[in-house]
Amino acid sequence: MIQCPTCRQRETEGELFCSNCGAYLWQPPGEDKPTLGFICTSKLRETTHITASGPSTADLKTGQIALLLPGQSLILEGKSQYVIGREGLENELPDVNLSAYGGREKGVSRKHALLRVDRRQLLLIDLGSSNGTWLNGTQLTANEPVRLESGDEIRLGKFPLRIHFNL
Amino acid sequence: MVIGNLYSLLGISPNASAEDIKIAYLGATRRFHPDVNKSAAAAEEFRLITEAHATLSDPAQRARYDAQFKEQGGSALALRCALSRGRVPALDEPQVLYALVEIRPALSLGNLPPPPVNLAVVIDRSTSMQGERLNQVKEAVMQLIDSLRPNDTCSIITFSDKAEVILSAQTGSPEQKQLAKAKVSTINAHGGTEMLCGLLAGLFELHSHLSPSTVNHLMLLTDGRTYGDENDCLLLAALAAADGISLSGLGIGEEWNDKFLDELTSLTGGTTEYISSPEQIHEFLQNKVRSLGAAFGERLTLRVLLDQDVQLLEAFKISPEPGPLETDETVRLGSLLRDRPLVVLLKFRLPRLPEGVRPIARLALYGDIPGLGRKDERITYDIAVATVANLEPPPPPPQVLIDALSKYSQHKLQERAWQQVEAGNLAGASRLLSTLSTRLLASGQPELAKVAITEAKRLEQQQTISEESKKRIKYGTRALIPLRVQDLNLDPTRL
For the stretch A111-163, pLDDT in tens is: 899 999 888 889 999 998 888 999 998 999 988 889 999 999 999 998 999 99
Lowest mean pLDDT among A9-18, B244-253, B258-267, B390-399: B390-399
A21 CA: distance to closest CA in chain B (Å): 6
Q: Are residues B1 and B56 in the same domain?
A: yes
Within an 8 Å CB–CB cutoff, is residue B153 touching chain A?
no
Disruptive mutation site among B83, B409, B436, B447 for chain A (greatest number of A CBs within 10 Å) = B409
Looking at the domain assignment, is residue B169 inside a domain? yes
| Mean pLDDT to the nearest integer, B331-354 | 91
CB distance B409–A13 less than 8 Å? no
The CATH number for B208's domain is: 3.40.50.410
B68 CA: distance to closest CA in chain A (Å): 44
Disruptive mutation site among A4, A86, A143 for chain B (greatest number of B CBs within 10 Å) = A143
Looking at the domain assignment, is residue B487 inside a domain? no
Q: What is the number of other CB atoms lying within 10 angstroms of the CB of residue B426? A: 17
Q: Are residues B128 and B16 in the same domain?
A: no
CB distance A17–B436 less than 8 Å? no
**What count of Cα atoms within 13 Å lies in the side-chain half-sphere of residue B384?**
11
Q: Are residues B187 and B70 in the same domain?
A: no
Tell me: cis bond preceding B320? Omega within 30 of 0 counts.
yes
Please state, in angstroms and rounded to a whole number, the distance separating the CA atoms of residues B258 and B133.
Answer: 18
Lowest mean pLDDT among B1-10, B120-129, B269-278: B1-10
Q: What pLDDT is stored for residue A89 in this prediction?
A: 64
Q: Are residues B419 and B283 in the same domain?
A: no
- Is 50 exceeded by the pLDDT of residue B235? yes
Looking at the domain assignment, is residue B188 inside a domain? yes
Q: What pLDDT is stored for residue B121 in this prediction?
A: 94
Residue B147: closest CA among B286, B296, B273: B286
* CA-to-CA separations, B301 to B216, B234, B369, in angstroms, rounded: 15, 18, 13
Q: What pLDDT is stored for residue B3 in this prediction?
A: 55
Last residue of a domain, one of B258, B293, B328: B293
Q: Are residues B127 and B6 in the same domain?
A: no
Give one word for A136, left, alpha or beta, with left for phi > 0 and alpha for psi -120 to 50: left
Number of structural domains, chain B? 3
In sequence order, the 6+-apart residues with CB closer than 8 A to the CB of B452 are B414, B433, B434, B436, B437, B440, B473
CB distance B442–A21 less than 8 Å? no
Lowest mean pLDDT among B6-10, B172-176, B217-221, B343-347: B172-176
B417 pLDDT tier (thresholds 50, 70, 90): very high
Closest CB from A22, A28, A142 relative to B439: A22
Q: What pLDDT is stored for residue A91 in this prediction?
A: 63
Looking at the domain assignment, is residue B404 inside a domain? yes
Q: Are residues B23 and B126 in the same domain?
A: no
Residue of B nearest to A118 (CA): B446
CB distance A13–B95 less than 8 Å? yes
Q: What pLDDT is stored for residue A154 in this prediction?
A: 94
First to last CA, chain B: 26
Closest CB from A13, A91, A143 relative to B434: A143
Last residue of a domain, one of B251, B275, B293: B293
User: B82 and B381 in contact (C-beta within 8 Å)?
Assistant: no
Last residue of a domain, one of B293, B312, B346: B293
A125 CA: distance to closest CA in chain B (Å): 10
Q: Are residues B57 and B135 in the same domain?
A: no
Give B-chain residues touching A114 at CB under 8 angstroms: 441-442
Please state, in angstroms and rounded to a whole number, the distance separating the CA atoms of residues B443 and A95.
Answer: 11
- Is 60 exceeded by the pLDDT of residue A52? no
Looking at the domain assignment, is residue B355 inside a domain? no
CB distance B84–A12 less than 8 Å? no
* CA-to-CA separations, A52 to A1, A64, A68, in angstroms, rounded: 47, 19, 7
Looking at the domain assignment, is residue B317 inside a domain? no
Q: Are residues B148 and B213 in the same domain?
A: yes
Q: Are residues B51 and B143 in the same domain?
A: no
Q: Are residues B174 and B49 in the same domain?
A: no
Please state, in angstroms and rounded to a whole number, the distance separating the CA atoms of residues B412 and B404.
Answer: 12
Q: Are residues B244 and B166 in the same domain?
A: yes
Q: Are residues B213 and B278 in the same domain?
A: yes
Q: What pLDDT is stored for residue A35 in this prediction?
A: 52
For the stretch B199-230, pLDDT in tens is: 999 999 999 998 888 899 999 999 888 888 99
DSSP type of residue B417:
H
B17 CA: distance to closest CA in chain A (Å): 37
At CA B106, angle to CA B22 and CA B214, rounded to 5?
A: 115
Closest CB from A17, A28, A29 relative to B406: A17
At CA A48, angle to CA A46 and CA A52, rounded to 5?
A: 165
User: B364 and B380 in contact (C-beta within 8 Å)?
Assistant: yes
CB distance B434–A111 less than 8 Å? no
User: B344 and B381 in contact (C-beta within 8 Å)?
Assistant: no
Q: 0.90 cut: is pTM over it?
A: no
User: B245 and B268 in contact (C-beta within 8 Å)?
Assistant: yes
In sequence order, the 6+-apart residues with CB closer than 8 A to the CB of A147 are A121, A122, A123, A124
Looking at the domain assignment, is residue B270 inside a domain? yes
User: B341 and B319 in contact (C-beta within 8 Å)?
Assistant: yes
A58 CA: distance to closest CA in chain B (Å): 30
Question: B137 is in which domain, residue-wise?
Answer: 117-293
Chain A and chain B share a number of CB contacts under 8 A equal to 84
Please state, in angstroms and rounded to a whole number, the distance separating the CA atoms of residues B430 and B300.
Answer: 39
Please state, in angstroms and rounded to a whole number, the distance separating the CA atoms of residues A125 and A131.
Answer: 14
Global ipTM: 0.82
Q: What kind and span of H or E run contains B356?
A: strand B356-369
CB distance B394–A14 less than 8 Å? no
Looking at the domain assignment, is residue B210 inside a domain? yes
Lowest mean pLDDT among A69-83, B292-306, B352-366: A69-83
